[in-house]
A and B are shown apart, each in its own frame.
Chain A
């Protein structure tokens, strides 16, 4: 058990190390003066000298690399070129918005997709199942930004039901409840678009799992014993599909993350994904590296959590060799 976790954490650390290496070497391998990727050329000479010292730019590459690793671990990302503010502060202000978007989208699409998948598996060959299979493949083909642009056009421009951009209205409304409602109103279209795009694959996956689970012998025995259909489906068959569902839920995070970058750009939300794009387009290298590192961190954390959750949710693995059968 312990060796398993050791390997997993070592794997996670390996990914982070790779990300840090990419950040470090990629930004230095660019054409032109590598130093200008860290020290903004517009800074005053004193500031440049100070930053040179801080980053150890006159020292050999290995030392620079170690300094960089230490800074990454302590979330010391330096100053952004565009805003001259600490990058960590910028990211901190944007992180809650991204988390809210991702969290709500993932939970809603998982819930909707799971429910639809279970219903489709119960009535095999029915209309719902065919609809689920069809919409799954269709929702995969449509580019996410297209669906979002169409939603924007339809529901925010032609019928002004939703705001055109932003995470909050300007000026933000007073009062906690009004502010919360306003935030939810701004989040509604982005989250809805992500759910529309995501529930299809969820539904197909859960449907496949449930079809297999409902075909098991114990289900037949339970039916013979007279258990209610509802109890069979939800309390027994569905339970066996929980471990893979939880795992896939957490593993879908990297994919949703990529979708979030696009979503935040289309709806102009104040989030980390848009921050990454803006820094890349604005050649703000400290900020871009930091945003990428944060996104990779979230991905790695999600993978580790998926592992942990899988082992927790499936008693066969948890009790495994030590107890139970």
Chain B
């Protein structure tokens, strides 16, 4: 539990960029499962180099990025930056003539780049640039050699990181760590809200009894009869998808369980001797409730809260999976929603599907474990050994 919380809070600090930036190509597999995906390519020309070479033994990359500056002593009549293919063919990547100082900023998917290569807007320039395995050279040709060169040709690798990337190229591991926060936040706050309502309702209705008690119990029965997920869907779908709205709605529909438990406990405690004594010396109801019954109820309440958190987490994950959560907030349910809706299946991207789900299950199991241990302490009859 501590490890998970620490991971959730400290983990994202390890990353230098925000989670939304794309770092590699979409659906890149993790580094340790990448098979024969190409590594990242980074070829530079600096100083006054005019030629450099690199080996390429893989499929063509998704795209290339060519950036840099070239400075000539005087404007060249004809000069260009070319890629020499293994079979000797030459492809002009950028023209450098006519200006003394040239800035290059080309993405392999640019339309004018494809036009310059003589391709239609629908052709893939990469197939033209990387037709086969072999030795490629990046050269600057022309009548005058350049004075100062700072050029970089890069291509993102086929694999990335600890858990790969999603359909937008975002690092899945980073997203996973950010999701911890949302799950814990929503789960705990919704359950706290529900327990607060349930505690008040259970204490008062159990102690006061009579018409108020049957009214509250009627309300509990009513709310229990409504199918939970559909009404959550309707409310969230109509009233908006904010995080706190979700917490509010989840809390409003989960208080019934703790109310019933507290109420039955109060009913049994009400007849205890000390309560009768308190009443006979004139203690007000509120005093009895807060100073005496509440502390008795707390251990059981703690156990109920801890056991209720998995329910809230699962409900939030379910609603996010259906698409009814804030799209700007990264949660594990949302990751699974995007995996389901944006093609993780056809890409075979198991690293998008397994980690969030396993994470949800892990957190739920942790809370169930803690909750059951607390419950055993609070109510010794339930423990498996049953020593009393």
Binding site for B on A (CB under 8 A): 11-12, 14-15, 18-19, 22, 26-27, 30, 137-138, 140-147, 149-150, 152-153, 157-158, 164, 254, 257-258, 261-262, 265-266, 273, 276-277, 280-281, 288-289, 291-292, 295-296, 299-300, 303
Bound Cα distance from A257 to B361, whole angstroms: 21
Does B225 make an interface contact (CB < 8 A)?
Answer: yes
Does B300 make an interface contact (CB < 8 A)?
Answer: no
Specify which of B235, B238, B323, B365 is in contact with A138 (CB 8 Å cutoff): B365
How many residue pairs between the two chains, A and B, have CB atoms under 8 Å in the bound complex? 134
Q: Which of B152-160, B192-200, B310-318 lies at the binding interface?
A: B310-318
* B225 contacts A15, C-beta separation under 8 Å: yes
Bound Cα distance from A266 to B322, whole angstroms: 9
Does B324 make an interface contact (CB < 8 A)?
Answer: yes
Known: A149-B336, A149-B357. A262 touches B222 (CB 8 A): no
For A281, what are the chain B residues with a Cβ–Cβ distance below 8 Å? 237, 323-324
Bound Cα distance from A137 to B339, whole angstroms: 26
- Nearest 5 CB-CB pairings of A with B: A146-B357, A258-B229, A141-B364, A280-B237, A142-B361
Does B123 make an interface contact (CB < 8 A)?
Answer: no
For A138, what are the chain B residues with a Cβ–Cβ distance below 8 Å? 361, 365
Bound Cα distance from A170 to B369, whole angstroms: 46
Give the residue name and chain of the B residue nearest to A288 (CB).
B234
For A261, what are the chain B residues with a Cβ–Cβ distance below 8 Å? 229-230, 233, 322
For A152, what are the chain B residues with a Cβ–Cβ distance below 8 Å? 345
Specify which of A137, A140, A153, A258 is in contact with B228 (CB 8 Å cutoff): A258
Give the residue name and chain of the B residue nearest to A265 (CB).
B322
Specify which of A143, A258, A289 is in contact with B227 (CB 8 Å cutoff): A258
For A257, what are the chain B residues with a Cβ–Cβ distance below 8 Å? 227, 229-230
* A262 contacts B227, C-beta separation under 8 Å: no
Specify which of B239, B318, B339 is in contact with A262 (CB 8 Å cutoff): B318
Q: Which of B41-49, B103-111, B346-354 lies at the binding interface?
A: B346-354
Q: List 15 A-B contacts (CB under 8 A).
A: A18-B226, A26-B234, A140-B364, A141-B360, A141-B362, A142-B361, A143-B361, A146-B336, A146-B360, A149-B339, A150-B353, A258-B227, A280-B237, A281-B237, A292-B234
For B233, what are the chain A residues with a Cβ–Cβ distance below 8 Å? 261, 276-277, 280
* A141 contacts B350, C-beta separation under 8 Å: no
* B230 contacts A27, C-beta separation under 8 Å: no
Bound Cα distance from A266 to B344, whole angstroms: 13
Give the residue name and chain of the A residue nearest to B365 (CB).
A141
Does B270 make an interface contact (CB < 8 A)?
Answer: no
- Which has the most chain B C-beta neighbours within 10 Å: A153, A257, A281, A296? A153
Binding site for A on B (CB under 8 A): 218, 221-222, 225-231, 233-235, 237-239, 310, 314, 317-318, 321-324, 333, 336, 339-340, 345, 348, 350, 353-354, 356-358, 360-362, 364-365, 368
Give the residue name and chain of the B residue nearest to A261 (CB).
B229
Known pairs A11-B222, A157-B348, A258-B230; list 5 more (Cβ under 8 Å): A22-B234, A142-B357, A150-B354, A164-B345, A254-B225
Bound Cα distance from A161 to B206, whole angstroms: 55
For A277, what are the chain B residues with a Cβ–Cβ distance below 8 Å? 233, 322-323
Distance (whole angstroms) from the CB of A44 to the closest CB of chain B:
26
Bound Cα distance from A257 to B229, whole angstroms: 8
* A140 contacts B368, C-beta separation under 8 Å: yes
Give the residue name and chain of the A residue nearest to B321 (CB).
A145
Bound Cα distance from A296 to B234, whole angstroms: 12
* A262 contacts B368, C-beta separation under 8 Å: no
* A157 contacts B238, C-beta separation under 8 Å: no
* B336 contacts A145, C-beta separation under 8 Å: yes
Give the residue name and chain of the B residue nearest to A281 (CB).
B323
Distance (whole angstroms) from the CB of B317 to the closest CB of chain A:
5
* B225 contacts A300, C-beta separation under 8 Å: yes
* A141 contacts B310, C-beta separation under 8 Å: yes
* A15 contacts B238, C-beta separation under 8 Å: no
Give the residue name and chain of the A residue nearest to B235 (CB).
A26
For B356, what are the chain A residues with a Cβ–Cβ distance below 8 Å? 146
* A299 contacts B345, C-beta separation under 8 Å: no
Bound Cα distance from A258 to B362, whole angstroms: 22
